[in-house]
Amino acid sequence: MQPASQRRNVTILPLTAALVFALACSAAPAQPGYWAGPRPEQNMVADQPGYVPSAAEEQLPAELHKQVVFFRTTEAPGTIVVNTSERYLYLVQGNNRAIRYGIGVGRDGFQWGGLKRIERKAEWPDWTPPPEMIERQPYLPRFMAGGPGNPMGARALYIGGTVYRIHGTNQPQTIGSAVSSGCFRLINPDVIDLFDRVPVGTRVVVLQAPKV
């Protein structure tokens, strides 16, 4: 098992859009007024199945803490709004308020937008890397049961009509970054909180980052 200081120096391998089952997150250009990059000490990291982060590692910068914020929208309360350029997920509360979570998003070329719904939910989801991922990273397990070291994290919300998920992570240092192939990830305490608040059928609005 590599220490965290070494894991930050591992270069992420190129991946195709099909490899969205469990991926890391990295940096993209910041937007004015928002913290939208990796933590200053973070480089890109590859998947680390089996790694269990410490409580200290799950402490996010203040900008990424779960918090209630002012949020003007026409979406109904209970709607999930993902803003990929801001690196935030909003759970609309009504009265121009939302619960905001810091997230990791898709890397350049793998971001997407649209209107979807949560089709199912899972606690401590299993992970089965697809053949394409095994070919590129042959050291990965062929199957990994759900648990604290699973790259899918503590909870998963499956976005209908896609292969994407909102899920937890065993790499909390990737929150606020953009290296996945389309999934959105939260630290485990936050994804558990979100999971408990939203039912199957919840509307999901994904706002794609503008091209630069």
Residue 176 lies in a domain: yes
State the Cα–Cα distance between residues 125 and 168, nearest whole angstrom. Answer: 10
Asked if 49 contacts 150 with a C-beta cutoff of 8 angstroms, the reply is: yes
Residue 39 lies in a domain: no
Q: Which tens digit of pLDDT belongs to each residue from 126-138?
A: 877 767 667 767 8
The catalytic residue among 167, 181, 194, 206 is 167
Residues 6+ apart with CB under 8 A from 54: none
Band (102; pLDDT cuts 50, 70, 90): very high
Number of folded domains that form the chain:
1
Nearest C-alpha neighbor of 180 from the set 119, 108, 77 = 108
Residues 6+ apart with CB under 8 A from 193: 66, 101
Residue 40 lies in a domain: no
Q: For the residues 8-17, what does the mean pLDDT come to? A: 34
State the Cα–Cα distance between residues 84 and 194, nearest whole angstrom. Answer: 17
What is the distance, to the nearest Å, from the Cα of residue 90 to the centroid of all Cα atoms in its chain?
A: 13
Phi/psi class of residue 149: alpha, beta or left (left: φ > 0; alpha: ψ in -120 to 50)?
alpha
Phi and psi angles of residue 195, each rounded to the nearest 5 degrees, phi first: -55, -40
Residue 5 lies in a domain: no
Q: Which tens digit of pLDDT belongs to each residue from 67-78?
A: 999 999 999 999
DSSP helix/strand/coil, 117? strand
Range of the domain at 78: 17-34+45-207
Instruction: Kindly report the CATH number assigned to the domain that includes residue 26.
Output: 2.40.440.10
Overall pTM surpassing 0.85 (yes/no): no
Average pLDDT for the chain: 76
For the chain, give the percent of residues with pLDDT over 70. Answer: 67
Residue 183 designated active-site:
yes
Residue 9 lies in a domain: no
Residue 58 lies in a domain: yes
What confidence score (pLDDT) does residue 47 get? 60
Residue 65 designated active-site:
no
Q: Which tens digit of pLDDT belongs to each residue from 31-85?
A: 322 333 333 333 344 566 656 766 777 778 889 999 999 999 999 999 999 999 8
Residue 29 lies in a domain: yes
Residue 170 lies in a domain: yes
| Beta-carbon count within 10 A of 63 CB | 14
What confidence score (pLDDT) does residue 35 get? 32
The catalytic residue among 24, 89, 183, 194 is 183
